[in-house]
Amino acid sequence: MEINQLRFFLASCEGASFAKAAEATGTSRQAVSNSVRSLESEMGVQLFERKHNQMRLTAEGERFARRAQRVISLVDDLYNEEADGRDELVLGLDSFVIGSMTDPFDSLIEYASAEGGCFVRVAQDPFESMKEMLLNGRRDLLILRSLSSSFDGCAAVPLRSAKLGLIVSGDDPLAARDALGIEDVRGRTLIVPNGSRQRYKAFFDALAAEGRGPKVSYVDNSAMALAAIKKTKGVGMTDFDGPPERTAIGGCFKIPFAGEAENVRDCAVYPLDSPKKDQITHFVRWLQDEARFLKWHPSVPIS
């Protein structure tokens, strides 16, 4: 159980809607829904009754909500005590990226205590809203994975590169290859989870400009992407958090692109005129230690 799960659950209680909870917490409806369902599975109880696009708390949900509110109140009190007297940085993370992390909060606590720096608070954001959140001052810096790694008026500091690749069905002739090129899948449909739509947009735009633009089909999540790849002989888009090598996954294979051109980067992005620029650059330098930053990105099936 994670604190964010409790926050999403309580926001869902207040609005009686995952959509309203997503708006209130600045994340996606899918992220809220997945979080609450995961909480229900972990607790072994049904927290909401869902009928005809409406939802209300079950008796178990009402009891859990009271306990969850007490936990959140204690955490907020602790947070306020720790943050008192320190500068605070609000770190925006792509909602898809944060879902693939093991526990970024341990690293942030380590930074705040060991470095004696400012207090860092994590916020989970949909990719498409991150630029607006940064430029209107609601976030001090972002960490995101993208080919397009900067916004106007902002600094983009590379943290590390990730190799792009493709996912093919295990019975596809291409599955025996150790590396692929985009030409190998000409005429195929690229299947991409909705959460990665913006992450690969720049790559697809570049291919279209070269006259190599593939047909792209978006699905709700990674599990659906894998199922569609196996059923339709489509091809999935992916990137590699670990070594870029051919890897079996769910009856399919992840295979890296050949060459060095097809990469995305993990970047820290912040406004050049930020009043917290000194604190931000100190934190970014701390993140640039590769061994430390690797804690943030375990390997995921389709990112």
Predicted confidence (pLDDT) per residue in 110-155, tens digit:
665 555 566 777 776 666 677 888 888 888 988 876 655 557 788 8
CB 299 within 8 A of CB 242: yes
Task: Look at 90 and 109; give whichever has higher pLDDT.
Answer: 90
Most confident of 109-113, 153-157, 160-164: 153-157
Long-range contacts of 149-153 (CB under 8 A, 24+ apart): 149/265, 149/267, 149/269, 150/267, 150/269, 151/269, 153/271, 153/272, 153/273
- Residue type at 301 in one-letter notation: P
Q: What are all long-range contacts of 250-254, with beta carbons under 8 Å and residues at least 24 apart?
A: 250/226, 250/301, 251/169, 251/170, 251/226, 252/167, 252/168, 252/169, 252/170, 252/175, 252/226, 253/167, 253/168, 253/170, 253/175, 254/165, 254/166, 254/167, 254/301
pLDDT digits (tens, 9 = 90+) for 76-100: 655 554 444 456 788 887 655 554 4
The answer to which of 9-23, 75-89, 112-126, 160-174 has the lowest mean pLDDT is: 75-89
CB 213 within 8 A of CB 142: no
Structure tokens at 253: 């294979």
The pLDDT, as a whole number, for residue 298 is 39
Q: What phi and psi values does residue 281 have, to the nearest 5 degrees?
A: -65, -35
The whole-angstrom separation of Cα 35 and Cα 43 is 12
Phi/psi for 119 (5° steps) reads: -80, 135
Taking the C-alpha atoms of residue 271 and residue 140, their distance in angstroms, rounded to an integer, is: 8
- The partner residues of 123 in beta bridges, in order of sequence, read 92
Q: What is the pLDDT of residues 236-289, one digit of tens each?
A: 988 876 678 899 988 899 999 886 556 777 788 899 999 888 888 888 887 777
- Give the separation between CA 139 and CA 121, rounded to whole angstroms: 10
Tell me: pLDDT of 195 over 80: no
Instruction: Output 106 or 230, whichever has higher pLDDT.
Output: 230
The tokens 């498409």 sit on which residue?
128
| Cα R_g (the chain), whole angstroms | 21
What pLDDT, on the 0 to 100 scale, is given for residue 214?
75
